[in-house]
Amino acid sequence: MSKNGRSVLVTGGAGYVGTVLVPLLLQRGYKVRVFDKLVFGDEGLSSIKDRIEIIQGDICHFDSAVLDDIDKVIHLAALSNDPTAEFAPDANYLINVDGTRQVAEACVQKGVSKFIYASSSSIYFSLNPYDGMLTEESEVNPTAPYSASKKQAEALLKEMAGPDFCPVFLRKGTLFGSSPRMRYDLVVNAFVKDAWDKGKLTVFNGGEMWRPLLHVNDACEAYINALELPDDVVRGKAFNVLRKNYRILELAHWTKYVLRDKKHIDVEVQYTSGVPPRSYQVSGDAFKDTFGYTPQRGISQAVLDLWARLEQGEHADFGNPEYYNITWLKLLTAMQGRLAGMGTILPELPKNILHTQQQNSESISSTPVA
């Protein structure tokens, strides 16, 4: 891989977004290197592994050599939702803030200018949310670990911005849609899963919460377009990226309506959940004005696409913990200590015994039967 203006490093490139983004980058003529801890493996990239570089590693111990011959960076690697951040707030800070700093400082050292940061519209959430439309100019004061880490990372990157370093912050809405590294802990995807599995969608806190939503493919298009916009247009700027703001109850009924010819679905509304409701509406006008378009992929087609994939048996094993970030993280951390003490899970025969065993097996199989 050599510097030609078309070489991109995607951190976290084996995740839910990355496994959609990387093939799109290849289609656009980019050379792609993926840097990922591979907590979820690299199976989501299996169809293109021979066309990309994959480096397994941890952004908390980032080696600047990973950026050799790289022109631009899309930084996706992170703990990626509230439950994982709240499960391990210290690790969340180390990964989402200090890990981001390490990658950015390496970019400055290596002369990699364009740095697209995967921020989140959840940055607007606080325990006392403003009930109205929020823009990039609105004051943000997030209190939850995940949202706070996104604000802190944006702040440190903005401080680093200059003529030779161009960070861009995409504050994406809640994602939905199919991915090779599938997730069912995102609201639209979860509704489709529950419609298929239970025939019932459960909505908490009366479903009054607002969410900005964005199809995963539209998120990937935004990342690629951010790479290609002039530095002076986007340097140090944040952009809300969304298709539309939805109330959760509206979203449940819309999912039910889209699937009306597929299955009878009930919507159950509960008015408590035990956790504070997260609610915020954001404006996408700045993105539209700068990028020149509005994301177009809506809920209906995504729901039907997910349903069709389930009919084909794709990602239909809903008990698989890998589909739920917090479940998988808890499982891995629980097993980490046990594995350290156990060593190899299943014993392996020493080579001399294995060779003798194979010889005996061959001898038995060649003995004539009377």
Residue 339 resides in a domain: no
Cα dihedral 205, 300, 19, 11, rounded to 10, equals -50
- Structural domain total, the chain: 1
Read off the amino acid at residue 282.
V
Mean pLDDT, the chain, whole residue set: 93
Question: Of 96, 131, 251, which is closest to residue 186 (Cα–Cα)?
Answer: 251
| Tens-place pLDDT, residues 276-313 | 678 899 999 999 999 999 999 999 999 999 999 999 99
Residue 127 resides in a domain: yes
Rg over alpha carbons for the chain, rounded to the nearest Å, is 23
| Tens-place pLDDT, residues 193-248 | 999 999 999 999 899 899 999 999 999 999 999 999 999 999 999 999 999 999 99
Of 9-23, 125-139, 323-337, least confident by mean pLDDT is 125-139
**Separation between Cα atoms, residue 225 and residue 7, nearest integer Å:** 15
Q: What are phi and psi of 89, to 5 degrees?
A: -60, -35
Residue 356 resides in a domain: no
**Separation between Cα atoms, residue 193 and residue 59, nearest integer Å:** 32
Q: State which residues form the domain around 270.
A: 7-332
Q: Write out the two tokens for 263.
A: 């299955």
**DSSP assignment string, 32-85:** EEEEE--TT-SGGGGGGGGGSEEEE--GGG--GGGGTT--EEEE--S--SHHHH
| Residue 35, domain CATH | 3.40.50.720
Residue 366 resides in a domain: no
